[in-house]
Amino acid sequence: MMKRFIGPISIRYMHDSREIEKNRPQRNIVDPNIPFHFLHEMEPDKDGNLQTVNTIFLTSKECVFKCLMCDLWKNTLLEDTPEGAIIKQIDYALSRLPEASVIKLYNSGNFFDQKSIPLSDYAGIIDRVKNFKKVIVENHAKLCGQACVDFNDQLSGKLEIAMGLETIHPDSLPKLNKQLSEEDFKKAANFLSSHGIDMRAFILLNPPFIIDEKESIEWTIKTIQFAFDCGVGCCSIIPTRGGNGMMEKLQEQGYYVPPSLNALEEVFDRGLALKQGQVLVDTWDIGFLSNCTHCFEERKSRLNQMNLNQKIYQSIACSYHE
């Protein structure tokens, strides 16, 4: 039986990188010359117009930050990314994808970590994305500096940097091993905004150490508001899931509770109602949020339509209980 935690969680429940890595399952075998995934999708721009997006999940060196809840390391390299490999991966994906107006170059870590994306590859990358109106990359807030500005200045289109904010909950955030504070995020956002670089934030629903669902919903909304206050234009809500070993351990100990589909729907509705920027929810593999097979697909479809149109649609009534 899962242990239930009562009362405030002590700061002693901190997990360092060594413990996090120790609890990991086996990583996947990846080819440094081939992206581990790529896809073509639709996403609204800040004015609500649908735009075509080519998303390439690049294979690169693992992120230097070992976040407690992260499972992106499964498709990364243990060693530095070889020079020229990223260019080969982009060529591989773009030759198999249709044309698009936006490109996402996600590398399961930090685009501006030169061990992940070699500086020598920048010129080739910039040449290959010259026909895209926007280039979106992911990067830790603490690694947002002059390299971001220099890269942006060389692009034909506009740069957007996606940063993991996760939560501003005062007990949860310090325990995620993200090595990030609210002030760190705000500082990075101010820097990027001052240089005309767009931003989006990844925000977790039900991160570890927020056990009560109502509390988790409220802190997710507070985190969305904080991101908008920092100048972020798009908030992407990600349901916190297991699968990295550490999360299973935390769930067994009672420090992590998987989110529900009801919670995701409420957060999405309330986030859109703020009308302060784009709000998206990650609907990839969200079957674990619901055990009702009768209404799940219809509810997931509603979320996808809300993603595309940035409008709140009538909730789906179901006569079955989850």
| pLDDT tens, residue by residue, 30-89 | 999 999 999 999 999 999 999 999 999 999 999 999 999 999 999 999 999 999 999 999
Average pLDDT rounded to a whole number, residues 153-161: 98
Q: pLDDT, tens digit, for every residue of 89-133?
A: 999 999 999 999 999 999 999 999 999 999 999 999 999 999 999
Looking at the whole model, is its pTM more than 0.85?
yes
319 pLDDT tier (thresholds 50, 70, 90): confident
Rounded to an integer, what distance in angstroms lies between the CA atom of residue 196 and that of residue 90?
25
Cα 260 to Cα 215: distance, rounded to the nearest angstrom? 13
- Please report the pLDDT score of residue 268 as a whole number: 98
Decide: 216 and 206 in contact? Cβ < 8 Å.
Answer: yes
Give the confidence band of 3 by pLDDT, cuts at 50, 70, 90: very low
pLDDT digits (tens, 9 = 90+) for 223-268: 999 999 999 999 999 999 999 999 999 999 999 999 999 999 999 9
Q: Say what the pLDDT of residue 44 is.
A: 97
Average pLDDT score over the chain? 94
Separation CA 64–CA 66 (nearest Å): 6
Domains of the chain from N-terminus onward: 25-309 (3.20.20.70)
What is the tally of helices (H) and strands (E) in the chain?
9, 8
Distance CA 61, CA 84 (A): 14
Q: How far apart are CA 191 and CA 32, in angstroms?
A: 32
SS3 160: strand
Q: Per residue, what are the HEC states of 226-251?
A: HHHHCCCCEEEEEECCCCCCHHHHHH
State whether residue 159 is helix, strand or coil: strand
Distance CA 40, CA 167 (A): 29
